[in-house]
Each structure stands twice: as structure tokens, then as C-alpha cells.
Chains A and B, each alone.
Chain A
Amino acid sequence: AQSVTQLGSHVSVSEGALVLLRCNYSSSVPPYLFWYVQYPNQGLQLLLKYTTGATLVKGINGFEAEFKKSETSFHLTKPSAHMSDAAEYFCALTGGGNKLTFGTGTQLKVEL
């Protein structure tokens, strides 16, 4: 069985500050991990994915995430927040199948 836990349903940062969104997972098989972003009334857009190889993954819009097997984590970071980053972010995984298992999401608020 797989599960994804996102710590903090709401995160607020100042514009220009570091963004850190936390994701921990549980999987009985080596997982493939994804971060998606959802803007209001829209679908999910892929930010980045980890499958195999390099554990530091770079994505779109300046985001990156690091896969840490020993900590079962896949935290999302961005060095400097922009107002346009305000959205909901979902961590997800697949493992041993095709269906995505999602965390409950983190709403990111960016303040001036």
C-alpha cells in the first residue's frame, strides 16, 4: 500500500523568501514521485517528477525537489517566492501500478 503525507495544509511566505513544502511517503515498492500545482478552477500541472537516477530534480518555474530515501521524503523548494506561485501544491506517487496516490495538498500563499 502507498500513502503520501503533506505536512501543513497552508503555508504562507513573503515574496522573495524561500518556499519549502513538505512531502513524506510510504511505499512497499520503489516509488515514482511527482509534484503537481493546481491554480483555481484549473486542472493539475506537472511541476517535476522523480523516477530513477539523480535525487535532486529540477522542475518548471524554478522549483526543485530532493528524493531522500532514508527519510522517505520528497520536499519541494524554491529559493525565492513570486506572487504567481500562489496556488495549491500536490505531492503524489505511483508504485507498482499506474494510479496516482495524492497527498491532501498544501495551499501556498505569497504575501508582499
Chain B
Amino acid sequence: NAGVMQNPRHLVRRRGQEARLRCSPMKGHSHVYWYRQLPEEGLKFMVYLQKENIIDESGMPKERFSAEFPKEGPSILRIQQVVRGDSAAYFCASSPETNSNQPQHFGDGTRLSIL
């Protein structure tokens, strides 16, 4: 399967712990996007990255959240000191080019639960 791969599919953390979510884009795609889906809501944009660069982080909470897309390896969304309100499904998407008409391809998501 050459699609967008996210792991883990499910992640349980206690309040105050750290959560690391991983995303490997489709082969040939160099642009990665992270979205968050809260219950009964649509997806909300968080951050847009290219290799080694954050292009747009306008949707990222100011504290505790960070993202990276290193030269080698998957993109990582990191949430420090998690709180109950971080419980959500986090989706990664990738695209091959910078044109905004190129559809983004989504992974199956990581469902984060905070105890």
C-alpha cells in the first residue's frame, strides 16, 4: 500500500504525558499537512510542512504542540503535557506539488485518547 501511513492508529496517554504521532507521506509527495477532527466537527487545519520547513502553522495551538518533517523519516506531530481536550482524531495528508488544486491524500488517522 503506497498510501499515506500514520501510526499508531490508536494512542492512549494520561494527562501530562507526551504524544508523538507519525506520518509517512505517499511516495513522491513532499508536502505534508496535519488536521485535527474533534467529535461532531469537521477537520481543522493545523500545520503545513515541506521537507525541513514549516510553511504554515497558523492552525497550531501556541503552546505544547509542535511539528517537524525531517530530511529523512516521517513527519512527527508532538503534543507535550497532554490534556483531556487534546482527545481527537489527528489526520495527516500529503500532496506532490505546491499548487492548491492538487488534492490531498489522507491517512487513516491517529485516534488520541487522554485519560
CB distance from B26 to the nearest CB of A (A): 12
Contact between chains at A43 and B107 (CB < 8 Å): yes
Q: Which 4 A-B pairs have the closest CB atoms?
A: A43-B106, A102-B42, A51-B101, A94-B100
CB distance from A54 to the nearest CB of B (A): 14
The 8 A CB mask of A1-39 against B (1 = contact, 0 = none) is 000100000000000000000000000000010101000
**Nearest residue in A to B33 (C-beta to C-beta)?**
A99
CB distance from B33 to the nearest CB of A (A): 7
The 8 A CB mask of B42-55 against A (1 = contact, 0 = none) is 11110010000001
From the candidates B42, B59, B101, name the one contacting A49 in the complex (CB within 8 A): B101
Tell me the bound Cα distance from A92 to B103 in angstroms. 11
What is the total number of residues of chain B having a CB less than 8 Å from a CB of chain A? 30
Binding site for B on A (CB under 8 A): 4, 32, 34, 36, 41-46, 49, 51-52, 90, 92, 94-105
Contact between chains at B42 and A98 (CB < 8 Å): no
* A104 cross-chain contacts in B, Cβ below 8 A: 40-42
Contact between chains at A98 and B31 (CB < 8 Å): yes
Contact between chains at A95 and B100 (CB < 8 Å): yes
